[in-house]
Amino acid sequence: MARTPDRRGLLAGAGALALAGCYRRETPQADAQPLDLHLSDLEGRHGGRLGVAALDVASGRQALWRAQERFPFCSTFKAFLAAATLQRVQRGEEDLERRVRVTRADMIPHAPTTGPAVGRDLSIRQLMQAAVELSDNPAANILIREMGGIGVWRQWWPSFGDTTTLISRLEPELNTALADDPRDTCLPAQTLANIRLMAFSDRLSPAHDALLHDWLVASPTGPNRLKAAAPQGWTVAHKTGTGMNGTANDIGMMTPVSGAPVLMAVYLTGATQATDDQRDAVIADAGRRALEVLGRG
């Protein structure tokens, strides 16, 4: 999720991370005692349950709300699917330019890139970009198939240090997770740890890191979620997710014009009586509250 060289220069100058001239550095640690973040009024606005985990990279301060509870992750997983695929490329197990035939049998709802490509080939790079930028569902399923299937995909998470996210189904079934169904759910605190590791470790090469970040920044989905929470001039690299049972999510990295970023994961579920716009507004307000608590609003 790291950005282009401009961001690397900014981070090199951030006090808590200063290692002059270096891009890769140790994963920033979070404070043991999270700051108080109270969001019960937001949950009461339209019903539902919020989960928030945010980290100020420069200071190590955290803001958490229901961060150890389970929430459906929906399409937010596609950011990590791209990271897993890029790791396969780095190990020589995959090629960014390898072509894969897209067939009618691959089609499921929400196929903005793969739908028009039926009967043609798309590269692994194009499939990743479609999954991350546009949340293309067939593209995500094809990438999972091409890595060896859901069993292989499920095994990647512990290799990344995550033993709590539960990978059970493919698109679009994974979006049906309910409050009493642990399948296809995650913990906001674990997602935050995953973002931190993906952005600040050497799991991805600088080139692949920048590639993924650019897709996350370019994504037009959810403009009224974390993008709306960020102060003017900040850059937001994010991945949204939307599902049944009043579920809407957004995770990513929020970077100011100067200084270190804030990492954030916001999940909302059970808000069945709210409209899409209302759910988006709750996520944006939760993001703003987290930034204020961290002193970054």
Tokens of 95: 């090629």
How many whole angstroms separate alpha carbon 176 and alpha carbon 47? 18
Q: What does the DSSP assignment read for 253-278?
A: EEE-SSS--EEEEEEEE--TTS-HHH
Residue pointed to by tokens 């997983």 = 77
Distance of alpha carbon 150 from alpha carbon 148, whole angstroms: 7
The answer to whether 250 and 239 have CB atoms below 8 angstroms apart is yes
Q: Which of 40, 59, 75, 168 is an active site residue? A: 75
Residue 201 annotated to the active site:
no
The first and second tokens of residue 193, run together, are 């740890």
Nearest to 280 by CA among 290, 294, 293, 266: 266
> Which residues, listed in sequence order, are joined to residue 186 by a DSSP beta bridge?
71
Which residues are known catalytic residues?
A: 75
